[in-house]
Amino acid sequence: MMTEDTRKAGARRASGRSNGEGRKADSALTRSKLIEAAAKLFSDNGFQAVSVREIAQAAGVNPALVNYHFGSKQQLFEEVIRIYAADNVADRMTRLAQERRRLGRLELEDVVEIYLAPMIDPQFDTDSDGVFSRLHAVMIAERMEAFDQIAARAFTAVNVTFLDELERCLPHLTRHTITWRLFAMVGSMLYFGVRPAPPGLHLISKGGCDPMNREDMRKQLINYFIEGMRAPVR
């Protein structure tokens, strides 16, 4: 409540997308440098553990620019989340459309594989490898009020789409059951997305199980997901 007014004022003054798109080159560059640096640092260390000064230094800009361009540290984080979530969602939707065009009616195997592609497909290795999963973990660990709204806006559409597809492929299951299992899949993949690998995995497998080895991970897990999804409720 103490900084509420000034923060909003700052954010409005800065972000103001209302009057045009590519309006100032330096500004957009600074913003993207901050977002990139923040994404890396937040995903590696969490939200509270990273200071505005660290982010600014990593981006090579002045610390005050965080507040100037985004209003506050928290709003910068939210912007990072929005961008990476949107990328993740766009990846999946694009793939789904492509595969639908290519194969016509999709089988369960296809739908599951497409949904997990951003996290499991070795050919899908963007430069932001794993960053999204870790950001997700950070949001969950350090509860943020704004996040539920952001997640709802970002993920509801893609999840509804995939639930529709899955429901069509699994007529013996209720949407209720399928929803539970879809989120179980997400939990698994987020877990393998954290860095370093889930505690104990490296040790207990004597280095054999490595989530960085997407090829192996996909091979060992894809049927686990598919057959799990297909299992009756009993």
Q: Provide the residue type at 57 as one letter.
A: Q
23 in contact with DNA (CB under 7 A): yes
Task: Please state the separation of Cα 122 from the chain's center in Å.
Answer: 17
Nearer to DNA, 54 or 129 (CB): 54
Angle subtended by helix axes 175-193 and 108-120, to nearest 10: 30
Query: Which of residues 26, 104, 143, 232 is near DNA by CB under 7 A?
Result: 26
Residue 191 binds to a copy of itself (criterion: CB under 8 A): yes
The reply to whether 152 sits near a copy of itself by the rule CB under 8 A is yes
- Residue closer to a copy of itself by CB (options 61, 81) is 81
User: Does residue 14 bind DNA (CB under 7 A)?
Assistant: yes
Can residue 161 be called a binding residue for a copy of itself (CB under 8 A)?
A: no
- Kindly state the tokens that stand for 199: 């505690």
d(CA 18, CA 153) in angstroms, rounded, equals 21
Using rule CB under 8 A, residue 232 touches a copy of itself: yes
Distance CA(114)–CA(65), nearest Å, equals 39
Q: Is residue 1 close enough to count as binding DNA by CB under 7 A? A: no
Report the nearest approach of a copy of itself to the CB of residue 104 (Å): 23
* Chain centroid to CA 205: 27
